[in-house]
Amino acid sequence: MSGSNGRRWRSASKGSGKRAPGSLLTRPWEPLWQLFHRLRPARWSAYVRDHWIGKPLVTAVPMAWLVLFFMVPFIIVFGISFSQSVLAIPPYEELWGWTDDKVLQLRLHLANYNYLFTDTLYVSSYLYSVKVAAVSTFFCLLLGYPMAYGIARASTTRRNIYLMLIILPFWTSFLLRVYAWIGLLKSNGVINNILVWLGVIHEPITMMQTDFAVYIGIVYSYLPFMILPLYSNLEKHDRTLLEAAADLGSRPWKAFMRITLPLSMPGIVAGSLLVFIPAVGEYVIPSLLGRTDQLMIGRVLSDEFFENRDWPVASAVAIAMLILLVVPIMIFQRYQNRELAHK
What is the per-residue pLDDT for 154?
92
| 94 assigned to some structural domain | no
Q: Mean pLDDT over all residues of the chain? A: 83
| 202 assigned to some structural domain | yes
Question: Which residues, 6 or more positions from 222, have their beta carbon under 8 angstroms from its beta carbon?
Answer: 136, 140, 274, 275, 278, 279
Q: CA-to-CA distance for 133 and 284, rounded, in angstroms?
A: 14
In SS3 terms, the chain reads as CHHHHHHHHHHHHHHHCCCCCCHHHHCCCHHHHHHHHHHCCCCHHHHHHHHCCCHHHHHHHHHHHHHHHHHHHHHHHHHHCCCCECCCCCCECCCEEECCCCCEEECCCCHHHHHHHHCHHHHHHHHHHHHHHHHHHHHHHHHHHHHHHHHHHCCHHHHHHHHHHHHHHHHCCHHHHHHHHHHHHCCCCHHHHHHHHHCCCCCCCCCCCCHHHHHHHHHHHHHHHHHHHHHHHHCCCCCHHHHHHHHCCCCHHHHHHHHHHHHCHHHHHHHHHHHHHHHHCCCHHHHHHCCCCCCCHHHHHHHHHHHCCCHHHHHHHHHHHHHHHHHHHHHHHHHHHHHHHCC
| 91 assigned to some structural domain | no
**Using an 8 Å Cβ cutoff, are 179 and 208 in contact?**
no
**Using an 8 Å Cβ cutoff, are 89 and 317 in contact?**
no
| 125 assigned to some structural domain | yes
**Using an 8 Å Cβ cutoff, are 287 and 208 in contact?**
no
Please give the residue range of the domain that contains residue 7.
Answer: 2-80
In this structure, the answer to whether residues 76 and 119 fall within a common structural domain is no
What is the per-residue pLDDT for 317?
92
| 197 assigned to some structural domain | yes
What is the per-residue pLDDT for 6?
45
In this structure, the answer to whether residues 131 and 239 fall within a common structural domain is yes
> Has this prediction a pTM greater than 0.85?
no
In this structure, the answer to whether residues 133 and 70 fall within a common structural domain is no
In this structure, the answer to whether residues 48 and 120 fall within a common structural domain is no
Q: CA-to-CA distance for 26 and 44, rounded, in angstroms?
A: 29
Q: CA-to-CA distance for 167 and 312, rounded, in angstroms?
A: 39
In this structure, the answer to whether residues 153 and 25 fall within a common structural domain is no
- If we measure between CA atoms, which residue out of 290, 312, 20, 14 comes closest to residue 131? 290
What is the per-residue pLDDT for 27?
59
The residue out of 64, 80, 96 marking a domain boundary is 80
Residues of the chain with pLDDT under 70: 1-55, 335-336, 339-343
What is the per-residue pLDDT for 48?
57
In this structure, the answer to whether residues 119 and 74 fall within a common structural domain is no
CATH number of 276's domain: 1.10.3720.10
| 205 assigned to some structural domain | yes
In this structure, the answer to whether residues 242 and 292 fall within a common structural domain is yes
In this structure, the answer to whether residues 285 and 219 fall within a common structural domain is yes
Count of structural domains within the chain: 2
CB neighbourhood size of 182 (10 A) = 14
Q: CA-to-CA distance for 196 and 173, rounded, in angstroms?
A: 31
In this structure, the answer to whether residues 17 and 129 fall within a common structural domain is no
